[in-house]
Amino acid sequence: MGKVSLEGIEFHAFHGVFSEEKKLGNRFTVDLHVYTDFEKAMRTDDLKYTVDYFKLYQIAKAHMQVPVKLLEHLGHLMIEDILKAYPESTQIEVVIKKHNPALGGVVNFSVVEVAYPRDYQ
């Protein structure tokens, strides 16, 4: 068993509830962690037996381009597509950070963490 991760993927996107967020957008950082059995990949040096970083990036990128109101929903959508691509995954964690959320004060990030199987349906 092991974990394949992409950390610190950055996007400019238009997610949020407020009209300013939908117009101006914001900077987001996404971390993806996929737990799976990649023993066969370790032994064979064959990409088809593990999680492909490029596919993970493409999933995140596709979802970041389609605005949603809630980061919780965004994380859920990413997990659904990761599970479609890698149904053998035993656990998936998606962390989404919105940089400098407009809250009327200094805040570095608002953060949402969504995980499968915990708290996921």
Annotated active-site residue 98? The verdict is: yes
72-75, long-range: CB < 8 A, 24+ apart:
72/112, 72/114, 74/15, 74/112, 75/112, 75/113, 75/114
Cα–Cα distance for residue pair 120/52, rounded to 1 Å:
23
Query: Which one is catalytic: 22, 23, 55, 98?
Result: 98
List residues with catalytic annotation.
Answer: 98
